[in-house]
Amino acid sequence: MIAARLTARRALGALAAAALCAALAGCGSGDPLPVSRGELAEARSFPYFKLYWVGPRFQGIRLVSTDGRRSYSPTYGDSVYYGNCIGEQGLEGGGTCHLPLQVKTVVFVRHSNDALGQQRNVLLRGVPASIYDAGHAIELFTGQVQVDVFTNSLARSLAAVSELRPVNASGSPDEALPPPVYCPELVGPVPADVAAAMRRLPHRVCRETQRRQELADAIYGEVPGGS
């Protein structure tokens, strides 16, 4: 169930970017049109949670589209999209048309990231994060949300993370991101700095999450995967 939801989440992101790319003039030939004022205004007034972006331009690549309240899906969150189509291989294993950068924000729901394959857990901008998809994607855990950065290289992914800030709230790329109010369920080895950051999360949420899981296991029996 969880694996299917994660796979669907990633597939929808790829489809959305491909559909957006098809809508852009040339889809790979020439400079795409910038995001419209109305679309950007809708993102700036998004009411439900902090929606992250990297500014109107990133590495010379312009913002071309944003999701907003009207297209919002609680399951898949909202995204901002940069640039024109590049490459022949989709970032998530399919498709022939993909953008150089997509930043997606979604309210965190406790789950396992096993379906994302090999991952490396790191501390970025002061919060736990997981690098996956051969460095083409990074998932950060902050506030009440998770932020996924999709690019075509690890260097670009890390550069985008360094520029993250809310489009609909105050914030600066020079600041640490707010710590998550939940306990991320990391897959694979957890380095000492990441473990220390998780122990410092507000209200000792990781210890409390573990306590509740242990209690549930004692009452109902251990559930494989812990989710």
Tens-digit pLDDT profile for residues 130-140: 999 999 999 99
Q: Is the pLDDT of residue 8 over 60?
A: no
- Let me know: does 185 contact 110? Beta carbons within 8 Å: yes
Q: How many angstroms separate the CA atoms of 44 and 168, rounded?
A: 4
- Let me know: does 138 contact 130? Beta carbons within 8 Å: yes
User: Angle at CA 156, nearest 5°, toward 153 and 159?
Assistant: 150
User: Angle at CA 187, nearest 5°, toward 189 and 226?
Assistant: 125
Tell me the angle at which helices 192-199 and 205-220 cross, rounded to the nearest 10 degrees. 90
The beta-strand segments (E) located in 89-184 are 101-107, 120-124, 127-132, 137-142, 145-150, 165-166
Q: How many angstroms separate the CA atoms of 87 and 129, rounded?
A: 26
pTM of the entire predicted model: 0.79
What pLDDT digit, counting tens, does each position of 159-209 carry?
Answer: 999 999 999 999 999 999 999 999 999 999 999 999 999 999 988 889 877
What pLDDT digit, counting tens, does each position of 109-126 carry?
Answer: 988 888 889 999 999 999
In the chain, domain spans:
2-226
User: Which residues, at least 6 apart from 152, have a Cβ–Cβ distance to it below 8 Å?
Assistant: 86, 87, 91, 98, 100, 136
Instruction: Find which of 2-16, 77-91, 132-146 is predicted with most confidence, using mean pLDDT.
Output: 132-146
The b-or-e profile of 77-90 (16+ CB within 10 A means b, else e) is: bbbbbbbbbbeeeb
Q: Is the pLDDT of residue 89 over 70?
A: no
